[in-house]
Amino acid sequence: MPRRKCTVRLVEPREILTATRIPGYDYCLNPYTGCGHGCLYCYAQFMIRFSGHAGERWGSFVDVKATAPGLLLREVRRKKRGEVLISTVTDPYQPLEAKHRLTRQCLEILAQAQWPLNILTRSPLVCRDLDLLRRFDSLEVGITITTNREPVRKILEPFSPPIPDRIEALRQLKAAGIATYAFVGPILPLDAAELAQSLEPIADEVLLDRLNYPNRVIALLRRQGMEAILDPTYLDLVREAFTRVFGPKRLSVIFAEDECR
């Protein structure tokens, strides 16, 4: 996997547990601003405008929230206990986490306080923290798997971990007794039936989502012959394939029903 060079800046936010309107969660926690994975389609690119990085390319910078663990320690003592989602506009296990260990430090605090937690990442680095994850009474860990075709991944998310490594991470999490889910979003060109079958033994649930900002990559999709993923019929076929394997109780679809008809 190639590693993208990033401009790294240490920052000191005023707050680390922020209230969220995402259904099912009370707080989100983002130990970093920006993401070294730099996926071309990423919805979080709006953070460029709000983080002092105007004019910079998504994936070319990461702000490391060096004071995050200290802030979190104070905030869990004074804020009402609630469900935390790590993360919403970054990957908590992006490459810089291996060095800075902010996510791990935050997990130590949340595990001690026993706050319910949901982690979403596309990195197998999450398995480094299995010792901490086992300490939570209420925990789910999701791995983002957008395709099962490596050539597709290399075009649209070239700096993210290979798909086989992500599937292996899910397998390790499941074997450790942790509740797991696969986030298939955005849905990229894939073999839906094959991917569903490979995920069924290792993912308790699957979430499906569409490409939310296609204009960012529509020209690239057309050059690569991938524009079919923008067709609602394609989304419908993917959903049907996953429903056959997981059934309706283990499958959640984020895009609206009428978008697939």
Per-domain boundaries in the chain:
1-121, 151-261
Other CB atoms closer than 10 Å to residue 25's CB: what's the count? Answer: 17
Calpha distance 89→232 (Å, rounded): 26
Angle 66-68-73 from CA coordinates, rounded to 5°: 140
Instruction: Tell me the two tokens of residue 142.
Output: 């999701």
Secondary structure class of 175 (helix, strand, coil): helix
pLDDT tens, residue order, the chain (261 aa):
777 789 999 999 999 999 999 999 999 999 999 999 999 999 989 889 888 898 899 999 999 999 999 999 999 999 999 999 999 999 999 999 999 999 999 999 999 999 999 999 999 999 999 999 999 999 999 999 999 999 999 999 999 999 999 999 999 999 999 999 999 999 999 999 999 999 999 999 999 999 988 888 999 999 999 999 999 999 999 999 999 999 999 999 987 443 332
Largest Cα–Cα separation, the chain: 52
The residues, any chain, with a CB within 8 Å of residue 3's CB and separated by 6 or more, are 36, 95, 159
Other CB atoms closer than 10 Å to residue 168's CB: what's the count? Answer: 16
